[in-house]
Structure 1
Amino acid sequence: MRTGSGDERESALHSGWTVEATPTIEDPAVAATPVGATAEAAAESADEAGAGEREAQPQQMSNLTVVLLGLSGGLFMLYAWVWMSWAQYYADVNAAAAAGSGSIGGVLQQIVFWIAPLAPVFWFISALVLARAHTRKLVFALVVGLIVTFPLPMVFLSGAAL
């Protein structure tokens, strides 16, 4: 009971409750601490056990990173569309050039010619997979990819393929 002077009341167990001699501990890092260990040693072992769990969990991306991924992904898709339209526009010219380079040369030229539109998509996916955990590396990879996979026919041909 509390009195008006601010004294704390004595705690008592409700009927039917018992006190165990050694309480059960849910945290395995604290449970593994020897009985004679200090509280600081128990806290250190809990921090070490928690560090492995933190590394195993994937980090959440910031809002700015998600917006950057959306914008760069849209640009990479635009690049892929421009490269594809350029490939379709010049299909006849490329077929004529491939005919003069032999059977193996013609096949290789056609493969390279038609796989070029997939380069921006592959760059975006590989940058996302390889640098997802490191935001700075991801931004660097995306900026380099936007420069490297830029569709030059869009600039030099004034969009003739579009």
Structure 2
Amino acid sequence: MIGLIIFMSVLVSYYAFQESFIDPNGFTNDMISDAKQIASSLISEGYPSDWNSTNVERIGITDGSTRIDPDKLLAFSQLDYNTSRGIFRTSYEYQVVLKEGGAFITMPNNRTYIGSNSTNASALFKVIRMPLYNNVLTQLEVYVWKP
């Protein structure tokens, strides 16, 4: 019986440690998960599919087939940053950029990014997706970090 208790304690401790794992670069499982979730959300059409700033439940900037919808990109760029973080359900800072051939694409907000422009990241994780924008294969980069 004591052996079982010790075994269970070790097992619980192991999984608790795994959940709070931080690798040498400072990435946490939550940070990686949030970055992937934000990228997946953006590559979707969002919910509802014709979302706007008053009814958005899931931010998506494509037409559902990985083609970026300029109207949805504009709507995303106009969302309040903290509102979008809440919709993405992340406690981390984020930034989204589009690149074509390695060059930044100017977003509808007349910047080269959507999201935070903070430069004090203690750990940064990037996820890349490849949608079409104006019928050109484009790099969608999502950066997530903790300040």
Does the alignment reach a TM-score above 0.5? no
TM-score range, shorter chain: under 0.3
**Given the two structures, how large is their TM-score scaled by the length of structure 2?**
0.26
Query: More strand per residue: 1 or 2?
Result: 2
More helix by share: 1
Larger radius of gyration, structure 1 or 2?
1
